[in-house]
Chain A
Amino acid sequence: MVKIISEPIQIAGVISLVSSPQAGALDVFLGVTRADSQGREVLYLEYETYEQMALREMTRLETEAREKFKLLGSAMVHRIGRVDIGEASVAIAVSSAHRNEAFAACRFLIDQLKKTVPIWKREFFADGSIEWSGESPQKRTEQVR
């Protein structure tokens, strides 16, 4: 089950999506927004997405994880729009018979999501500046300096 929503993520609801009588382990990962980005104070974040493709990529990752880690259930929910500091921007939940597969699958899903799913984060800083997160030619130049 994959979802992109613009309201706060309800964790209990995400957990209920993956519950299974065969499960001996249920893992949840929450990505939450942090108040600083490389030493600069962040007020809030905004996420945008190419929704149709993001849902397709998330579904592809879920299918891969279910096979690879023999999952009983999986759910990925990403929030878009404004997300205040300390709130969850993404929730991943998986269930499996034993804990090793659940831990590994949770990690696999968040790592892959951050590499391929078309979602972008914009940081609104306390100093008034606004920047897209992620690699850019400008950031590369700054690192070289």
Chain B
Amino acid sequence: MKIKLLLFSSAADLAGFREQEIERDDLKVAGNILGYLTSLNTEFDKWAPYLRVAVNSSYVDTNHQLSDGDEVAVIPPVSGG
């Protein structure tokens, strides 16, 4: 699976990057992204309950099937307004 990963706010700080093209066999559903991030920084394990995933600009459930070319964004708790 080849996707474009976007990170924002505290998630970008924890990972140390904001955007990455990734190609991995263990990415099948949206929730797999959190496992990938935890492999980069174990702090993501604590953050998991606070993070939402969006695919191509819409929120999805963790069991949403990914497709090649998807833009997958990790959305920490929002604080606009």
Contact = CB atoms under 8 A, between A and B. Distances in A.
Interface in A39-61: 47-50, 52-54, 56
A24 B60 CA distance: 39
Interface residues of A, number: 29
Interface in B52-81: 54, 57-59, 73, 75-81
Contact of A50 (B8, B49, B81): B8
Contacts, number: 79
B24 interface: no
B9 A48 contact: yes
Interface residues of B, number: 21
Main secondary structure on A side of the interface with B? mixed
Interface of B: 6, 8-10, 13, 46-47, 49-50, 54, 57-59, 73, 75-81
Given A78-B80, A134-B9, 19 more contacts: A31-B81, A50-B6, A50-B8, A50-B54, A50-B73, A50-B75, A53-B54, A53-B57, A53-B58, A54-B80, A56-B58, A118-B8, A118-B54, A118-B80, A119-B78, A132-B13, A134-B78, A134-B79, A135-B77
